[in-house]
Structure 1
Amino acid sequence: MTDLPTLLTCLLFLAIALLYACAGQAGASGYIAVMALLGYAPESIKPTALILNTLVSLVVSWRFVKDKHFDWPLFWPFALGALPLALLGGYLTLPQQWFEYLLGVLLLIAGGLSFLRKPSAETQPQAPRRSVAYAWGALIGLMSGLTGVGGGVLITPLLLFFNWSGVRTAASVSALFILLNSVVALIGHWSATSFYLPEGIALLAVMAVAGGLLGARLGSRVLTPSQIRLVLNVILIVAGLKMILSA
């Protein structure tokens, strides 16, 4: 890539990480869409998205946990169900077109759920039964491993739709969920195929982490819950449409 395209790509990754981190996300679906549009080698997209997801979710998790929004009893059953299936999903490789359609449809479904269910000030969130959390975690873990996303764009609207948590708690649970699933899926992908990464990934990683740090601070301390939900809805719908239209 020439200098100008490299600069534009870095700015795009910075903006994506910032926007996603506001809602406790790490940006994988955004990175995937940008890389597909810019003509990155298909075999480089999944591992690159997983690496950036791991780095950004690490700083986002740190911020939301530090600010005491995290709920361990809510988190661990989802994570326990997800991790083995994320490893399996990372090991498998889908045809490119299937990969894009699957991710796009999942994001649109998640965005629709987030729009349909409005929060009630009178109803306190209540965590699901462990068996329910295990099952949902397993499904999301498999999808995250297959597609290269960390699962945050799926678990966050799920938590909010069923009123299993508040907005900032959902964001904090999502961030750590993304981190663990991304690491496990990356291990699975690494063990299944040769690891191909694009030139300049170190610079892209620096820009994504910078965006993640700023976005996480905004989401954890500045934005209101309704504003965070709006950001999440925009992320899900736009990313889902981009993946389907570009497939």
Structure 2
Amino acid sequence: MPWEWPVGALLAFLVALATTPAGVSGAVLLLPVQVSVLGVASPAVTPTNLLFNVAAVPGGLLRFGRERRLGGPLARLLVAGTLPGVIAGAIVRVELLADEHAFMWVAAGVLLPLGLWLLLAGQRMQPQRRELTPRLRLGIWALALTIGTVGGIYGVGGGSLLAPLLLALGFSAFETAPATLAATFLTSIAGIATYVVLQATGSGAIGPEWTLGAFLGAGGFAGSYLGARLQSRLPETALRRLLGLIACLVAARYIQLASSGGGEREAPRAAVTVSAL
């Protein structure tokens, strides 16, 4: 057995354990690990991350489901927005081939101050009991649709963007984590299905590293399950600061990729890259 498989499973376990309580799969943190440590070829990183999400996120969803925290109105709103958004974004990606580097700078500009705010103001912030009025429902759906569409165009997912924005709107991490993970899971399925179809039709898409992805997913499943179980034992302040740290790390990652011209995130131009983060 190649050493990369068990090492990858262990690293995926640790990443998922740390990020699931905040409602983020942690796939973005596995990107540099796959390339620098596990030696995954650059074009295969994104679909392998999708495979990680599809296999790992159900661990957290299973735990949240046992706690009867899945299927709420917030989760339904996010799924109803992100899923059609990803499909629409994929079509735009193929037709227009939008410049992803501009998006990375914009996303970093949003996530970095938001992450710092969550880190520094986390102790003073108190989540509000938000009633999902028709106006708020429409606003959240529109936000999810926009992020899903952007994700479909630029090859990023919604979890790392949706989670801090929902906290900024006054929701608690206890409410948002199951919802953002559910949206991440479904958009990842759409993304990996796109890769499989494009690869089968010979359109130039690169498929995932299936065996490594399975090991990453197995480790991530265990980490996600334990992370979801751990969440109920963590104070809201700690969860907000954790999400703030993740937002800052994602922003730093986007800045690095944009500055280097795309790096390992580059994929064939004909491919639709939906890497749910």
Q: TM-score range by the shorter chain?
A: 0.7 to 0.9
- The equivalent residue for 1:81 is 81
Is residue 63–residue 216 contact of structure 1 (8 Å, CA) maintained in 2?
yes
The DSSP-based 3-state class of the residue aligned with 1:129 is helix
- The equivalent residue for 1:203 is 215
1:47 aligns with 2:47: yes
Q: Which amino acid aligns with 2:46?
A: K
- Alignment: residue pair count: 241
- The equivalent residue for 1:125 is 130
1:67 aligns with 2:67: yes
Alignment of 1:51-200 (within 5 A): 51-70=51-70, 72-90=72-90, 92=93, 99=100, 102-103=103-104, 106=107, 109-116=110-117, 118=121, 120-121=125-126, 123-127=128-132, 129-163=136-170, 165-193=171-199, 194-198=205-209, 199-200=211-212
Is residue 49–residue 148 contact of structure 1 (8 Å, CA) maintained in 2?
no
Cα distance per residue 1:184-227 (max 9 Å; x no partner): 222233333445222533222211212212212111x2211111
Q: Which amino acid aligns with 1:213?
A: Y
Q: Which amino acid aligns with 1:180?
A: L
TM-score scaled by length of structure 2: 0.74
Cα distance per residue 1:31-68 (max 9 Å; x no partner): 22322434522221111111111222212122223223
Q: Which amino acid aligns with 1:113?
A: L
Q: Which amino acid aligns with 1:40?
A: V
CA distance in 1, matches of 2:36, 2:89: 24
The DSSP-based 3-state class of the residue aligned with 1:222 is coil
- The equivalent residue for 1:215 is 227
The DSSP-based 3-state class of the residue aligned with 2:17 is helix
Q: Compute the displacement of 1:170 (Å).
A: 0.8
CA distance in 1, matches of 2:251, 2:148: 18
224 and 148 in structure 1: CA distance in 2 versus 1, 3 angstrom threshold: farther
Q: Structure 2 regions of 5+ residues with no counterpart?
A: 200-204, 261-277
- The equivalent residue for 1:37 is 36
Is residue 150–residue 181 contact of structure 1 (8 Å, CA) maintained in 2?
yes
Q: Which amino acid aligns with 1:47?
A: P
CA distance in 2, matches of 1:70, 1:197: 29
CA distance in 2, matches of 1:222, 1:216: 10
Q: Could you tell which deviates more after superposition, 64-73 or 77-86?
A: 64-73
TM-score scaled by length of structure 1: 0.82
Q: Compute the displacement of 1:181 (Å).
A: 1.5
Q: Could you tell which deviates more after superposition, 210-219 or 84-93?
A: 84-93
CA distance in 2, matches of 1:200, 1:77: 33
CA distance in 2, matches of 1:155, 1:135: 12
Is residue 63–residue 229 contact of structure 2 (8 Å, CA) maintained in 1?
yes
